[in-house]
Chain A
Amino acid sequence: MSLLSVEGLTVALPPGGDRADAIEDVSFSVDAGEILCVVGESGSGKSITANAVMGLLPKGLPVRAGAIAFEGTDLLRLGAEPMRKLRGQRLAMIFQEPMTALNPLMRVGDQIAEVLQVHGAAADAARRVPELLAAVNLPDPAAIARSHPFRLSGGQRQRVMIAMALALEPALLIADEPTTALDVTTQMQILRLIREIQSRRGMGVLFITHDFGVVAEIADRVAVMQHGRIVEQGPAAEVLNAPQHPYTRGLIAAVPHGAAPERAAITGEEVLRVTDIAKTYRRGGIFGAKAVVRAVHDADFTLKRGETLGLVGESGSGKSTLARCVVKLVTPEQGEIAYDGTNLRLLSRAAWKPYRQRIQMIFQDPYASLNPRRTVGDTIAEGPVTHGTPRAEALGRARELLRLVQLDAGAMDRYPHEFSGGQRQRIGIARALAMRPDLLIADEPVSALDVSVQAQVLALLAEIKARLGLTMLFITHDLRVAAQICDRVAVMQRGAIVEQGPTRQVFSAPQHAYTRQLLDSIPGRGWTPPQL
């Protein structure tokens, strides 16, 4: 008998949704001692599946059919009180957002102790809490237990969540995208931790993720979900290397290959030279404690015409700040940003204006980067109009650009909220191209997109870049993406560039310890996606 077996589970959506059921006829099982990965893109119903097992579905999403058997008990027929007793004791769950998953007003130790208290093991709390914190490799457990969550980093909080989940040694752990909000190096540590604890205790794990790299890293078996249904499931090696269903094949084909192809060295003249710039943030006022953050320092680089330079690094490494310095969204306090020989840093707002036509930017969040109150046509035409192009001409050009980014000309008069994330990102690209720039700065342009959409947008960017002969500064946290698109990469850590060089060279023979650590942390680095 399986530890958990879900049969024909169907959960309804509230009326008026884009489909009748959130998940439909979902069946799978998890054995003790195995990790089942449920993988799918956003909206596939994978999180709802996890919440249904925990009995934590919101009121608007009723279970319509099916059975969830856990250790022989049908959870769907269990009353609220017995179900509560199971939660935290036999079934435990960890969530995606470590920053918000802990009560900000309660000490971390008290939050862990609470699990023990509500399940009648309060007497053990004083002994168990430090033990548990030590078990998830947190340094100085006694001090951590006394801390409030805001003192801890994202990775530390996720460890606390895991400690909390393990407190009563549950039989099944449900992990809902537990590493998505974390940096790669932290992600790898957490994945290893889950793997280690799971095998040591023989726990079953239901692991929800959107990332096939993570699947390759951790899964024993895989179930692939699309539009609320499981379209394929099987042992990890089979699904990853010989996917059967067209949807799985498409997803796996879209996964960026970790390997960097051989590229010819770019020999054009120098377009941009950034030297000796520094940006420091100071926080705190007259009465408060002061904090100084050196966001960027020691980050010199150059860009040749037609080249794509990748700035890679984890969150807080200063890569976005550096890129924003180039377009004066952030003003560095020293250094030189030489563009075609002119130091842009010293220019006034007015003197900068002509350069706005030559340097443009693409942003990360497709939902925040378009003005919701302006039509797509106006959004794209706005830049040229600001610089004196007659409106009619600018709108005509906007129409052409929509075609270039593979959108229908009918999009002109519509508003951003009518488009999907991938489509919005194309609109953002068209807005930048409308200025006919020769230097394009792309700040994590695909990190907010699903993997299949991500592949399309990357292909579009590569094609446009080649066709228009653009120079590109490409910021990303995802080394697999950088490998695919960049001629050269510069690795940033704590505000400084620690290593730069041709992509293939940096990937195959990293010089700096941090670069090696980053490369080691690419999830699924041992797996080469099959050529499909």
Chain B
Amino acid sequence: MPAFTVKDFWRRYRRNKGAVVGLVVLLLVMLMAATAPWLFPGSPWDMASAPFLPPGEMGMLLGTDSLGRDVAAGIAHGARISLLVGAVSTAAALLVGVTLGAIAGYLGGFADDAIMRFTEFFQTIPSFVLAILLVAIFTPSIGSVVFAIAVVSWPPVARVVRAEFLSLRGREFVQAAEVLGKSRVSIVLTDILPNALSPIVVLSSLMVATAILLESALSFLGLGDPNLMTWGFLIGSGRSVIRLAWWMSVFPGIAIFLTVLALNLVGEGLSDALNPRLARQRGGAA
């Protein structure tokens, strides 16, 4: 786990072709999200043309839905919500997971036992059912969706961070820092955490992907923020009319698929770039 320069990192990342493609796709999705208000001015909820227009007709690139709303506009605006929810809920889950994992792994003993039982409990209960329950009880809004996703996403972070801290705590350079008389906070922040970052970084890109899937599933069930256009909502509204208007469900699904795939590919690239030894072991996957 030597220190890398940015150049080294990029050289290793670039070697994974899939990861480069993933990065490009992800940047395109971000670009779409950023420029949605200019590409499709006005609200995506407004009627843009006649209802049930197939793709390509009357200037509607991806067709219109049952109320004549532009599917393409919905997808572009939905990208903003998906990325936002993915990023914010991941950040919140990381905050909780890293803190709990770090305390458990560094202190060990009773704190470790208590925190790990708590984490295991959260891993046992069906996370999606819990998320549904949380959003339903706290009434659907972007806040409750982010909260629910964060609540069900932190346990894997806590486990990974705990394992890393546990192994690093026993490493001789951390013991050397103890013997030098450094404070606990300083040891955690300057000796342990920087060496535990690689798996956290890789995990977080995968968590954003999972969060986007979760958000779309909640929206699909009608648990999205009623004021915000999301990909899951688009698919959900197309479900009952799939015999009439396949495009209403197909295109938003492709948007989710591409974004989630891109994030997974980026995660693999990060993993290869941050753990060169593992990358070789995996025998040059994808």
Residues of A within 8 A of B (CB): 285, 324, 327-329, 349, 352-353, 356-357, 359-361, 363-365, 368-374, 382-383, 386-387, 415-417, 428, 431, 435
Chain B 1-28, CB-CB to A under 8 Å as 1, else 0, gives: 1110000000000000000000000000
A383 to B3 CA separation, bound complex (whole angstroms):
21
A416 to B172 CA separation, bound complex (whole angstroms):
14
Q: How far is the CB of B193 from chain A (nearest CB, A)?
A: 10
B41 interface residue, CB < 8 Å from A?
Answer: no
Q: Do A369 and B180 form a contact, CB below 8 Å, given A285-B113, A415-B2, A415-B3?
A: no
Q: Do A329 and B178 form a contact, CB below 8 Å, given A373-B194, A417-B2?
A: yes
In the complex, the chain B residue whose C-beta lies closest to that of A414 is B3
Q: When the two chains form their complex, are residues B3 and A369 in contact, meaning their CB atoms are under 8 A apart?
A: no
Q: When the two chains form their complex, are residues B180 and A386 in contact, meaning their CB atoms are under 8 A apart?
A: yes
Q: Do A353 and B172 form a contact, CB below 8 Å, given A371-B191, A372-B195, A373-B194?
A: no
A69 to B255 CA separation, bound complex (whole angstroms):
63
B176 interface residue, CB < 8 Å from A?
Answer: yes
A370 to B2 CA separation, bound complex (whole angstroms):
11
Which residues of chain B from 179 to 221 have any CB-CB distance to chain A below 8 Å in the complex?
179-182, 184, 186, 190-191, 194-195
Q: When the two chains form their complex, are residues B180 and A356 in contact, meaning their CB atoms are under 8 A apart?
A: yes
Report B-chain residues with C-beta under 8 Å of the C-beta of A431: 176, 180
Q: Which of B177, B181, B184 contacts A357 (CB 8 A)?
A: B181
Q: When the two chains form their complex, are residues A329 and B2 in contact, meaning their CB atoms are under 8 A apart?
A: no
Q: Which of B2, B176, B191, B194 has the most CB of A within 10 A?
A: B176
Q: How far is the CB of B3 from chain A (nearest CB, A)?
A: 5
Residues of B within 8 A of A (CB): 1-3, 113, 171-173, 175-182, 184, 186, 190-191, 194-195
Q: Which of B171, B184, B186, B191 has the most CB of A within 10 A?
A: B171
A415 to B176 CA separation, bound complex (whole angstroms):
17
Other CB < 8 Å A-B pairs besides A352-B181, A373-B3, 19 of them? A327-B178, A327-B179, A349-B184, A353-B181, A357-B181, A361-B176, A361-B179, A363-B176, A368-B172, A368-B173, A371-B177, A372-B1, A372-B3, A373-B195, A374-B190, A383-B180, A387-B181, A415-B2, A428-B176
Q: Do A383 and B181 form a contact, CB below 8 Å, given A371-B195, A373-B194?
A: yes
Q: How far is the CB of A348 from chain B (nearest CB, A)?
A: 13
Q: How far is the CB of A316 from chain B (nearest CB, A)?
A: 16
Report B-chain residues with C-beta under 8 Å of the C-beta of A364: 172
A417 to B277 CA separation, bound complex (whole angstroms):
14
Q: Give the top 5 A-B pairs by smallest Cβ distance, nearest first.
A: A356-B181, A417-B2, A369-B172, A383-B180, A363-B172
Report A-chain residues with C-beta under 8 Å of the C-beta of B194: 373
Report B-chain residues with C-beta under 8 Å of the C-beta of A415: 2-3
Q: Which of A353, A371, A386 has the most CB of B within 10 A?
A: A371
Q: How far is the CB of B263 from chain A (nearest CB, A)?
A: 26
Report A-chain residues with C-beta under 8 Å of the C-beta of B182: 382, 386
Q: When the two chains form their complex, are residues A356 and B173 in contact, meaning their CB atoms are under 8 A apart?
A: no
Q: When the two chains form their complex, are residues A369 and B176 in contact, meaning their CB atoms are under 8 A apart?
A: yes
In the complex, the chain B residue whose C-beta lies closest to that of A441 is B179
In the complex, the chain A residue whose C-beta lies closest to that of B174 is A371
In the complex, the chain B residue whose C-beta lies closest to that of A370 is B173
Interface SS of chain B: helix
Q: How far is the CB of A432 from chain B (nearest CB, A)?
A: 8
Q: How far is the CB of A301 from chain B (nearest CB, A)?
A: 20
A371 to B181 CA separation, bound complex (whole angstroms):
16
Q: How far is the CB of B266 from chain A (nearest CB, A)?
A: 23
In the complex, the chain A residue whose C-beta lies closest to that of B193 is A373
Q: How far is the CB of B199 from chain A (nearest CB, A)?
A: 14
Q: Which of B172, B180, B181 has the most CB of A within 10 A?
A: B180
Q: When the two chains form their complex, are residues B181 and A386 in contact, meaning their CB atoms are under 8 A apart?
A: yes
In the complex, the chain A residue whose C-beta lies closest to that of B171 is A368
A450 to B2 CA separation, bound complex (whole angstroms):
22
> Can you report 7 A-B residue pairs in the complex whose CB atoms are below 8 A from each other?
A285-B113, A324-B175, A363-B176, A368-B173, A369-B173, A386-B182, A428-B176
Q: How far is the CB of A449 from chain B (nearest CB, A)?
A: 15
Report B-chain residues with C-beta under 8 Å of the C-beta of A349: 184
Report A-chain residues with C-beta under 8 Å of the C-beta of B180: 356, 360, 382-383, 386, 431, 435
Report A-chain residues with C-beta under 8 Å of the C-beta of B173: 368-372
Q: How far is the CB of B66 from chain A (nearest CB, A)?
A: 56
Report B-chain residues with C-beta under 8 Å of the C-beta of A387: 181
Report B-chain residues with C-beta under 8 Å of the C-beta of A324: 175
In the complex, the chain B residue whose C-beta lies closest to that of A415 is B3
A318 to B2 CA separation, bound complex (whole angstroms):
32
Report B-chain residues with C-beta under 8 Å of the C-beta of A435: 180
Report B-chain residues with C-beta under 8 Å of the C-beta of A428: 176
Report A-chain residues with C-beta under 8 Å of the C-beta of B184: 349
In the complex, the chain B residue whose C-beta lies closest to that of A60 is B280
In the complex, the chain B residue whose C-beta lies closest to that of A431 is B176
A352 to B172 CA separation, bound complex (whole angstroms):
20
Q: How far is the CB of B189 from chain A (nearest CB, A)?
A: 12
A383 to B190 CA separation, bound complex (whole angstroms):
13
Report B-chain residues with C-beta under 8 Å of the C-beta of A329: 175, 178-179
A431 to B177 CA separation, bound complex (whole angstroms):
10
Q: Which of B2, B171, B179 contacts A360 (CB 8 A)?
A: B179
In the complex, the chain A residue whose C-beta lies closest to that of B170 is A368
Report A-chain residues with C-beta under 8 Å of the C-beta of B172: 363-365, 368-369
Q: How far is the CB of A121 from chain B (nearest CB, A)?
A: 36
Q: Which of B182, B186, B194 has the most CB of A within 10 A?
A: B182
Q: How far is the CB of A246 from chain B (nearest CB, A)?
A: 34
In the complex, the chain B residue whose C-beta lies closest to that of A435 is B180
Q: How far is the CB of A51 from chain B (nearest CB, A)?
A: 19
Report B-chain residues with C-beta under 8 Å of the C-beta of A353: 181
In the complex, the chain A residue whose C-beta lies closest to that of B195 is A373
Q: How far is the CB of A91 from chain B (nearest CB, A)?
A: 28
A359 to B178 CA separation, bound complex (whole angstroms):
12
In the complex, the chain A residue whose C-beta lies closest to that of B192 is A371
Q: How far is the CB of B116 from chain A (nearest CB, A)?
A: 11
Report B-chain residues with C-beta under 8 Å of the C-beta of A285: 113
Q: How far is the CB of B117 from chain A (nearest CB, A)?
A: 10
A328 to B179 CA separation, bound complex (whole angstroms):
8
Q: How far is the CB of B236 from chain A (nearest CB, A)?
A: 46
Report A-chain residues with C-beta under 8 Å of the C-beta of B113: 285
A134 to B177 CA separation, bound complex (whole angstroms):
49
A365 to B176 CA separation, bound complex (whole angstroms):
12
Report A-chain residues with C-beta under 8 Å of the C-beta of B190: 374
Q: How far is the CB of B277 from chain A (nearest CB, A)?
A: 12
Q: Do A356 and B2 form a contact, CB below 8 Å, given A363-B172, A371-B195, A373-B195?
A: no
In the complex, the chain A residue whose C-beta lies closest to that of B194 is A373
A285 to B109 CA separation, bound complex (whole angstroms):
11
Q: How far is the CB of B168 from chain A (nearest CB, A)?
A: 10
Q: Which of A352, A361, A428 has the most CB of B within 10 A?
A: A361
A329 to B173 CA separation, bound complex (whole angstroms):
12
A327 to B186 CA separation, bound complex (whole angstroms):
19
A365 to B178 CA separation, bound complex (whole angstroms):
16
Q: How far is the CB of A70 from chain B (nearest CB, A)?
A: 31
